[in-house]
A and B are shown apart, each in its own frame.
Chain A
């Protein structure tokens, strides 16, 4: 059975390009040009994923994301222009899964979709417990972290931070989400904790901390643990 995806995008050209590229990859594609049309479509059919453009004519998809999150677990990808940083982060904080910045290529879109689907498809049933990527191996159950098969010792906070990223491997996790889940909701403004702990983690895990392969920075948004 093919996966159904709903594209909410007001630009006709981009809409039709996305439709044909995704159809070619075997998706069943529905399109909407506005938040209200998307809302109507969501009532009738249940897509498996949502591609939501920011800056739609009838509102910023914020309410839509919230609504969907109260009922459904479908992956939501936000598509934004560079100058929409703030809205993008707001949407990610309120439950969107990942984002793409315009202009983006089709391979990038497919990669993001794949990661998002994988999480929703399998991760809900059984939480992701083992992460393997290049030289890094993390086992959340045994709390073992190895780089190139050499064990790495992490402090409890470093481990908590890494574990949170492992659970969303391949996906962006916002500063706010990390701070709230690792340190507690009252620490969401303490972004410098993240800077300091990320530097420590990178020093232990990365070969060249200044050009990381695993702990990637999403400038102004959050972090992403690289995954296959």
Chain B
């Protein structure tokens, strides 16, 4: 047997050869001692020496060897010490009785000794197993993933049993097992997991198998199943295996419970965020809608009585507010998309081009040309999503137009390794301490009674992050704010056209 088997089958160390040597040595020692004492000791004393040898042997060797020892002791006593000496003949009837008594005593002692040895070994084994379960429990307490628990379970089973041992986790009712698992083993494991009961050797179901199939279960909650093949027949071993599996089952259930608690917490946080989101969004949508409804209904019912300039003004309100709504919708969608999409698609883009396309759109809302742009030529290309970057820039410019009445500067620059886009305004600025909060969804500077896209800056921040960039706001000397976007520039620019 291999060394890993020591825990469940260790009654005797060594094999029959060792037993033979030990018995021979003990008998030889008893004989030699008897011969030495011969003149001074009685036959009874010598017989006692042999009884001692048999007693020692019975504790150290197998029952068969111990009985062989008893027989040898009787033979040797007869040969060396019972007259006539150096022959197996027995003359005196009294001596025959002595020999028979010795034989009986020797056999009884060897049986008692063997039983005692077994008990000691069983006690030692139980202590070892208890220690092992304690170790397993300690290690399981530190495990946080089902796979970790499974590995521990498998390791402890393999340490205790010759095996091979195998364990799998239950996922959606199916056991997740290595692909090379034999179909019969797979089925039996699945059955154990489905029933939550052990089956195989020594159990009520399929007791003829030489393997155990044990659920990793705790109070009816099955997390997986394990199999120990070439299982030893004794009840204690199976109970130990079941104890290991039960500990693993408990740990699996604990991890699962913890996971669902976390999920529940997360969901409640998400609901909270959703509520804030919905409250804010309905406010942001309702205000422009109210303006549109008022203007349109006024045109519908009072249209004929309104002066032409007033009618035009109402129409302009409707168009303006729909533009605002359309922007808001776009930002809301974009934020949701950026939060869910993860990776965005990047391609080589020219920042000059993006600025140009944004200005073309924003100028419609900037008839006085308050925005002044400074874009140097020969800027490096950047890896970007042009639609997203354009939206970022458009949001920043729209905000600047909305929150200030003076000139707005759009300045692009390239520093070593990065491109910087800055929008400087002369608005009332951001209150100190608010520099981070304004980038959160639905935070708004509402003082001046002017509406801002509550989402605009949150979308800008999300877009900047998606590009590995950095978006900051700084107070501007002389009043107003500077919104600065820094974008990384690839060290290797794309090669031009092959000549």
Q: Which residues of A contact B (CB under 8 A)?
A: 82-83, 85, 103, 105, 157, 183, 190-193, 195-196, 198-199, 202-203, 209-212, 216-220
Q: Which residue of A lies closest to B360 (CB)?
A: A216
Check if A211 sits within 8 Å of B496, measured CB to CB: no
Q: Which of B4-12, B122-130, B342-350 contacts A (4 or more CB under 8 A)?
A: B342-350
Q: How far is the CB of B464 from chain A (nearest CB, A)?
A: 17
29 contacts between A and B (CB under 8 A): A83-B333, A85-B387, A103-B322, A191-B347, A191-B348, A193-B497, A195-B349, A195-B381, A196-B350, A196-B381, A196-B497, A203-B377, A209-B377, A210-B352, A210-B359, A210-B373, A210-B374, A211-B355, A211-B359, A212-B360, A216-B357, A216-B360, A217-B354, A217-B356, A218-B357, A219-B386, A219-B387, A219-B390, A220-B386
CB distance from A181 to the nearest CB of B (A): 15
Q: Which A residue's beta carbon lies closest to that of B493?
A: A192
Interface residue B330 (Cβ < 8 Å from any Cβ of A): yes
Q: Which 8 A-B pairs have the closest CB atoms?
A: A210-B375, A192-B348, A192-B494, A217-B357, A195-B350, A220-B387, A217-B353, A219-B357
| Cβ contacts under 8 Å, A199 to chain B | 350, 352-353, 377
Could you say which residues of chain B place their CB within 8 Å of the CB of A210?
352, 355-356, 359, 373-375, 412
B350-A198 in contact (CB<8A): yes
* Cross-chain contact B353 with A211 (CB below 8 angstroms): no
A203 to B350, CA, bound (A): 13
- Chain B residues whose C-beta falls within 8 Å of the C-beta of A191 in the assembled complex: 347-348
Q: Is the CB of B494 within 8 A of A219?
A: no
Residues of chain A within 8 A (CB-CB) of B305 are none
Measured CB to CB, the nearest residue on chain A to B359 is A211
> Which residues of B sit under 8 angstroms from A203, Cβ to Cβ?
377
- How far apart are the CA atoms of A191 and B350 in the complex, in Å? 10
Closest chain A residue to B330 by CB distance? A82
B39 close to A (CB within 8 Å): no
Max chain B Cβ within 10 angstroms of own Cβ: one of A196, A212, A217, A218: A217
- Are the CB atoms of B353 and A198 closer together than 8 Å? yes
Which of B319, B337, B355 has most A Cβ within 10 Å? Answer: B355
B333 touches A82 (CB 8 A): yes
Give the contacts of B461-499 with A (CB-CB under 8 A): 494, 496-497
CB distance from A174 to the nearest CB of B (A): 14
Q: CA–CA, A203 to B390, complex, Å?
A: 21
| A residues in contact with B330, CB < 8 Å | 82
Number of B interface residues at 8 Å Cβ cutoff, please give it. 31
State the CA gap A157–B375 with chains docked (Å): 25
Do residues B354 and A219 form an inter-chain contact, with CB atoms below 8 A? Answer: yes
Task: Please indicate the chain B residues that have their CB under 8 angstroms from the CB of A83 in the complex.
Answer: 333, 337
Kindly list chain A residues whose C-beta atoms are within 8 Å of the C-beta of B348: 191-192, 195
In the bound complex, do residue B353 and residue A157 qualify as a contact, i.e. CB atoms below 8 Å apart?
A: no
Most chain B CB neighbours (cut-off 10 Å) among A83, A218, A219: A219
Task: Digitize B240-266: 1 where CB-to-A-CB distance is under 8 Å, 0 elsewhere.
Answer: 000000000000000000000000000
Q: Which chain B residues have a beta carbon within 8 Å of chain A's beta carbons?
A: 319, 322, 326, 330, 333, 337, 347-350, 352-357, 359-360, 373-375, 377, 381, 385-387, 390, 412, 494, 496-497
**How far apart sit A83 and B335, CA to CA, in the bound complex (Å)?**
12
| Contact assessment for A183 and B333 in the assembled complex, using a CB-CB cutoff below 8 Å | no
Q: Which residue of A lies closest to B329 (CB)?
A: A82
Q: Determine the chain B residues whose CB is within 8 A of the CB of A183 once the complex forms.
A: 497
Q: Which residue of B lies closest to A197 (CB)?
A: B497
From B319, B357, B385, B390, residue with most partner A Cβ within 10 Å: B357
For residue B373, which residues in chain A have a CB less than 8 angstroms away from its CB?
210-211
Q: Which chain B residues lie closer than 8 Å to A202 at the CB level?
A: 352
- Distance of A162 Cα from B494 Cα, bound (Å): 22
Distance from A72 Cβ to chain B, minimum over Cβ atoms (Å): 32
* Complex alpha-carbon distance, A83 and B331, angstroms: 11
| Additional pairs, 13, CB under 8 Å, beyond known A103-B322, A198-B353, A199-B350 | A83-B333, A103-B326, A192-B348, A192-B494, A210-B355, A210-B373, A210-B412, A211-B355, A211-B360, A216-B357, A217-B354, A217-B356, A220-B385
**CA A202 – CA B352 in complex, angstroms?**
10
A157, A209, A220: the one within 8 Å of B497 (CB): A157
Residues from chain A with a CB closer than 8 A to the CB of B349 are 195
Contact of B356 among A105, A196, A211 (CB under 8 A): A211
Inter-chain CA distance A202–B353, complex, in Å, is 10
Instruction: State A95–B90 Cα separation when bound (angstroms).
Output: 123
A8 to B87, CA, bound (A): 124
Please, how many angstroms separate the alpha-carbon atoms of A217 and B351 in the complex?
Answer: 11
Query: A195 contacts which chain B residues (CB < 8 A)?
Result: 348-350, 353, 381
State the CA gap A54–B375 with chains docked (Å): 36
Bound form: Cα–Cα A220–B388 in Å: 10
Contact residues in A for B412 (Cβ distance below 8 Å): 210
Task: Name the A residues within 8 Å of B333 (CB-CB).
Answer: 82-83
Residue of B whose beta carbon sits closest to that of A196: B496
Q: Name A216's closest neighbour in chain B (CB-CB).
A: B360
In the bound complex, residues from chain A placing their C-beta under 8 Å from that of B319 are 105
Alpha-carbon distance A225/B337, docked complex (angstroms) = 32
Report chain B residues within 8 Å CB of A212: 356, 360
Contacts of A196 in B (CB 8 A): 350, 381, 496-497
Cα A103 to Cα B319 in complex, Å, equals 11
- Residues of A near B356 (CB, < 8 A) are 209-212, 216-217
Contacts of B385 in A (CB 8 A): 220
Least CB distance from A223 to B in Å reads: 9
CA of A195 to CA of B495, assembled, Å = 12
B410 to chain A, nearest CB (A): 9
Rounded to whole angstroms, the CA-CA distance of A223 and B387 in the bound complex is: 14
Bound form: Cα–Cα A190–B498 in Å? 11
- B340 CB → nearest A CB, Å: 12
User: Which of A190, A195, A202, A203: most chain B CB closer than 10 A?
Assistant: A195
Complex: how many Å from CA A4 to CA B366?
A: 38
Query: CA–CA, A199 to B356, complex, Å?
Result: 11
Residue of A nearest to B349 (CB): A195
Residues of A near B353 (CB, < 8 A) are: 195, 198-199, 217
Q: Is B496 a contact of A193 with CB atoms below 8 Å?
A: yes
Closest to B347 in A: A191
**Chain B residues near A103 (CB-CB < 8 A):** 322, 326
Closest Cβ of chain B to A142, distance in Å, is 26
Closest Cβ–Cβ distance, residue B377 to chain A (whole Å): 6
- Report the Cα distance A203→B375, complex, angstroms: 12
Q: Identify the interface centre among A191, A193, A209, A210: most chain B CB within 10 Å of its CB.
A: A210
